[in-house]
């Protein structure tokens, strides 16, 4: 296993960090004259990109293709390497394909900034036959890519295993064709959405009434499916946010049905990775790292969760885990987590009120939460993080007041009498995400979010061994607009990314009304911009879940 010191050979490198390739450092020389060159770009920092399992998975898939030369690119603010690849400093404009992996809507602006720095015409309509093909995948491709549709030649929706090889074949075989014909060929791929082949149809008031596809382009576009393998890191880095940590997927999707969460809607069907496979990956990397992060929506929902934890303990692995379901934590689980070196456990009550929890699809009682907290404390865990939201549908003053009350009760169970134990409380604003039952509901306005955050911040002042952090109201509303908007946002994104125009000013200059996007309740039959792509449950099922949640809100006393 060879280690590589980036930044020592190449003045364009943006990382000075040590990397360990788990399956041998790739040979990026052009193995054939017609090899396809791909720049895989994460539109945020190297640190975050190298800790993103989706990015790592696609990197592994591309490197496994025999006739592909793949290099990475990132977005580092103010870096002289902007618009160039990490490995060789090649301008992005010289690659055959620039592929973006986008996990967060706020990175839409960075995506456009990367194109600009790379010398690539921003809008797909402005590109010539000599320009790279610009494609996008990742979580945002599933949820709603319409805000950046104007900048994309293709949006790839579905399993990477079902998309990468067919994409490379189409790119290689169509090199001699005019760009327009190449795009039509891409549109024939399962899961490939080519925005230039679709028109958005609107009524006199500007509302979307449907979509029109050009020629044989499919409508709606459906996700590419097929057998999937366990996602895992292919390279470790001491510069990653999760430094030198092997990331392993233990399951994909979620069956819990929370009405605010898209994971259970778009990542279907639910897939479990056998404990034997998970532990085999840990063992294979044991000579390179003892740090392993288990990536899953709910680890303890895994039917072999205990076997995975016991196996990790036998291997001497130090685990990092994502959020846990409080009602699934047992004394044995807590003991195993502590023995595996887990430092922080995250639990998400979402709100302080039990009846509001039931309405949003997360029926966890305070008693169950506090019982789990006591179990974690008895097991020896030292840090507990609680996640809450403000601006939820039907939220009342007493729901907000219940957050610090519940947090104080948690603190009493977890901290008192234990040196070094602490509780961290993190609060974000609810965003009605696409493809969820709550997609028909409005988002709270900026003033409301700010008032709620101000109350909570004051409520936690002076609480020993209890930390508080909250999302800014302005940032939350920007996320909401980017998550729910359509093609009308492209100019605002360009202004913010390229000209540095503040977001609200960019919206005004481009004639976009943010309240029209996130400030109003939608009619049952209203067409959403993201419905040009068909992913997840049918809208009838989402609507039924919405109605059930609203009934529970109406029944609250």
CA distances to 129, 130, 194 from 177, rounded to whole Å, are 8, 11, 17
* Across 40-56, average pLDDT: 95
Phi and psi, residue 60, nearest 5°? -60, -40
Distance CA 265, CA 80 (A): 40
* Across 527-545, average pLDDT: 95
Contact criterion met (CB below 8 Å) for 308 and 302 = yes
- At 543 the pLDDT is 97
Residue identified by tokens 């993080």 is: 385
* Across 47-59, average pLDDT: 94
pLDDT band at 33 (very low <50, low <70, confident <90, very high): low
pLDDT band at 3 (very low <50, low <70, confident <90, very high): very low
- Predicted confidence (pLDDT) per residue in 386-401, tens digit: 999 999 999 999 999 9
Domains within the chain, CATH numbers bracketed: 3-222 (3.40.50.280)
Least confident of 100-114, 165-179, 246-260, 504-518: 246-260
Query: In this model, does residue 164 exceed pLDDT 90?
Result: yes
The conformational region for residue 508 under phi > 0 = left, psi -120 to 50 = alpha, else beta, is alpha
Query: In this model, does residue 427 exceed pLDDT 60?
Result: yes
Measured from the Cβ of residue 208, the count of other Cβ atoms closer than 10 Å reads 18
- At 32 the pLDDT is 60
- Predicted confidence (pLDDT) per residue in 266-287, tens digit: 776 678 899 999 999 999 998 8
- At 450 the pLDDT is 97
Measured from the Cβ of residue 178, the count of other Cβ atoms closer than 10 Å reads 11
- Predicted confidence (pLDDT) per residue in 6-18, tens digit: 333 333 344 578 8
Overall size of the chain counted in residues: 557
Distance CA 369, CA 387 (A): 13
Tokens of 361: 């699809």
* Across 58-63, average pLDDT: 94
pTM of the model: 0.93
Distance CA 434, CA 185 (A): 28
Distance CA 48, CA 526 (A): 36
- Predicted confidence (pLDDT) per residue in 446-504, tens digit: 999 999 999 999 999 988 889 999 999 999 999 999 999 999 999 999 999 999 999 99
- At 268 the pLDDT is 65
Tokens of 235: 């390279």
- Non-local (6+) Cβ contacts of 224 within 8 A are 156, 157, 158, 159, 162, 163, 189, 190, 191, 192
Of the ranges 63-67, 188-192, 462-466, the best mean pLDDT one: 188-192
Query: In this model, does residue 229 exceed pLDDT 90?
Result: no
Mean pLDDT of the chain: 91
Contact criterion met (CB below 8 Å) for 295 and 247 = yes
Tokens of 72: 């990475």
Closest-CA residue to 312 (of 274, 275, 271)? 275
- Predicted confidence (pLDDT) per residue in 93-143, tens digit: 999 999 999 999 999 999 999 999 999 999 999 999 999 999 999 999 999
Q: How many CA atoms lie within 13 A of 17 on its CB side?
A: 19
Measured from the Cβ of residue 267, the count of other Cβ atoms closer than 10 Å reads 19
- Predicted confidence (pLDDT) per residue in 305-354, tens digit: 999 999 999 999 999 987 788 888 999 999 999 999 998 899 999 999 99
String of DSSP letters for 416-431: TT-TT-EEEEEEEE--
């Amino acid at each position: 296993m060879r280690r590589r010191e980036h930044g020592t050979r190449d003045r364009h490198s943006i990382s000075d960090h040590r990397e360990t390739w788990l399956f041998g450092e790739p040979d990026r020389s052009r193995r054939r004259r017609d090899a396809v060159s791909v720049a895989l770009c994460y539109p945020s920092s190297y640190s975050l990109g190298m800790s993103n399992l989706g990015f790592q998975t696609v990197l592994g898939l591309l490197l496994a293709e025999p006739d592909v030369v793949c290099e990475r690119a990132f977005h580092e603010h103010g870096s002289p390497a902007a618009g160039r690849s990490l490995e060789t400093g090649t301008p992005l404009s010289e690659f055959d394909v620039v592929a973006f992996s986008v996990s967060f809507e706020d990175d839409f602006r960075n995506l456009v900034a990367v194109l600009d720095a790379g010398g690539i015409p921003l809008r797909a309509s402005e590109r010539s036959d000599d320009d790279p093909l610009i494609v996008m995948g990742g979580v945002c491709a599933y949820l709603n890519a319409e805000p950046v549709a104007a900048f994309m030649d293709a949006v790839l929706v579905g399993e990477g295993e079902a998309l990468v090889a067919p994409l490379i074949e189409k790119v290689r075989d169509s090199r001699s064709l005019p760009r327009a014909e190449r795009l039509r060929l891409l549109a024939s791929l399962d899961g490939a959405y080519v925005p230039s082949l679709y028109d958005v149809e609107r009524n006199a008031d500007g509302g979307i009434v449907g979509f029109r596809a050009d020629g044989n382009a499919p409508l709606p576009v459906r996700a590419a499916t097929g057998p999937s393998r366990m996602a895992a890191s292919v390279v470790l880095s001491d510069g990653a946010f999760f430094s030198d940590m092997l990331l392993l997927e233990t399951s994909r999707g979620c069956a819990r049905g929370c009405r605010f969460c898209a994971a259970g809607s778009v990542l279907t069907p639910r897939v479990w990775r056998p404990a034997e496979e998970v532990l085999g990956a840990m063992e294979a990397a044991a000579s390179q790292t003892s740090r392993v992060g288990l990536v899953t929506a709910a680890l303890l929902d895994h039917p072999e969760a205990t076997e995975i934890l016991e196996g990790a303990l036998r291997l001497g692995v130090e685990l990092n885990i994502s959020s846990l379901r409080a009602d699934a934590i047992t004394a044995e689980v807590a003991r195993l987590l502590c023995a595996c070196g887990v430092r922080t456990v995250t639990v998400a009550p979402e709100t302080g009120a039990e009846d509001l929890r039931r309405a949003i699809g997360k029926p966890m009682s305070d008693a169950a939460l506090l019982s789990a907290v006591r179990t974690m404390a008895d097991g020896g865990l030292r840090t507990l993080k609680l996640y809450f939201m403000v601006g939820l549908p039907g939220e009342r003053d007493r729901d907000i007041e219940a957050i610090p009350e519940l947090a104080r009760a948690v603190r009493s169970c977890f901290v008192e009498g234990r040196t070094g134990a602490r509780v961290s409380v993190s609060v974000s604003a609810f965003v009605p995400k696409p493809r969820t039952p709550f997609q028909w509901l409005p988002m709270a306005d900026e003033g409301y979010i700010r008032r709620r955050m101000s109350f909570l911040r004051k409520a936690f002042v002076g609480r020993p061994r209890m930390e508080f952090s909250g999302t800014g109201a302005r940032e939350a509303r920007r996320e909401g607009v980017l998550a729910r908007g359509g093609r009308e946002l492209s100019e605002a994104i360009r202004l913010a990314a390229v000209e540095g125009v503040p977001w609200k000013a960019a919206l005004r200059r481009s004639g976009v009304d943010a309240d029209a996007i996130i400030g109003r309740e939608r009619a049952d039959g209203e067409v959403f911009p993201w419905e040009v792509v068909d992913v997840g449950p049918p809208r009838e099922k989402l609507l039924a879940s919405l109605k059930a949640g609203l009934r529970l809100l109406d029944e609250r006393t």
